[in-house]
Amino acid sequence: MINTYQTSMAPPPVPPRLSGSHSVLIPAPLPSQGHSKSLVRFIVGVVLLHLFLSIGGFIYLNHNDKMRPPGQGVEGQVGYRSSEKQETSYKAMARMVVDERSRKPDKKSSLGFLQWDFNHSVLRYIDYYQNNWLTIREPGDYYVYSRVTFSKGDSKLPLVSKVKLRKNEKEKEDEEKVVMQAYCSLDSGSVSASIPRLCTATQGEVITLEKGNQLGVWVQDLLLVNYEEGATTFGMYKL
C-alpha cells in the first residue's frame, strides 16, 4: 500500500508568535472650520491679485502701443518700410534716351525739340506725344532733370537747353513756358583738333504739374547736340 501522506517538500515555516504589544493607529483630529475658511480666503486673494495684475499689465501695454508713433515697433517698422518701398516702386517716372533722328530735323531749320527713343526709354504712368513731349498722367510734385551735351559751338549765340512746359497738346507755341534753362560754353583754345570739344548743360528742379501738362527739351540747334549714349538725357520722377 502506497503512503500518500509522504512528500519530499519541506514543511511550511511556523509563523512567529506575537510577544510584544500591538501598535494602535489613532486618527488625527480634523482641522477646525475656522482654519478652512482662512485657507479658502487666502487662495481667493491670490487668484484675485493675479487677475488684477494681468488686467493692469494689458491696459499699460495697450496704452503704450497707442501712444507710440507709427512705425516705431519692430513689426510696425518692417511693415511701414515694406509699404513705403512698394509705394515708391509704383510712382510715376520717366528716364528718356535721346533719338539720333533728332539730328535730322524734318524742318529746314534745325531749331527745335529733342526727340526720344521710346523703345529704349523707361516710362511709368507718364505718356508721350509726338516723340517730343512727355504728358503728365498723375498731378503732383515732380523732380525734372535734363542733361544736354554739345559737341559743336555756335558763333553767334551761347549754347542753351530749355525745358518747356505747356498746359496741354492744344496750347499754341507762343503760350509755352520755359520752366528751366541751362547754358554751357566750349573751350575755343583746344591745342589739338583731334580732341573733341564738349560741354554739358545740366539742370534739375522740383516742379508742380497738373494732369495733361506736357514737358519737352528745346535747343537752339539740333545739329550741335552730342547723341552718344548717356551724353544727352531727360527725365522726371514723382516725389
Domain's final residue, options 71, 90, 109: 90
Output the pLDDT for position 74. Answer: 44
DSSP characters for 110-153?
--EEPPB-TTTSEEESEEEETTTEEEESS-EEEEEEEEEEESS-
Q: Residues 190, 108: one domain?
A: yes
Domain total for the chain? 2
Whole-model pTM: value is 0.60
User: What grid cell was written down for 146?
Assistant: 535734363
Q: Residues 117, 193: one domain?
A: yes
Under-50 pLDDT residues of the chain = 71-72, 74-80, 82, 109
Domain span at 135 = 92-238
Pairing of strands 126-129, 133-136: antiparallel
Burial class of residue 236, CB neighbours in 10 A (0-12, 13-18, 19+): buried
Strand partners, 202: 147
Q: pLDDT by residue (tens digit) across 41-89?
A: 888 888 888 888 889 888 888 777 666 555 445 444 444 454 555 555 6
Q: Residues 83, 143: one domain?
A: no
Q: Residues 234, 138: one domain?
A: yes
Output the pLDDT for position 71. Answer: 47
CATH number at residue 155: 2.60.120.40
Q: Residues 207, 103: one domain?
A: yes
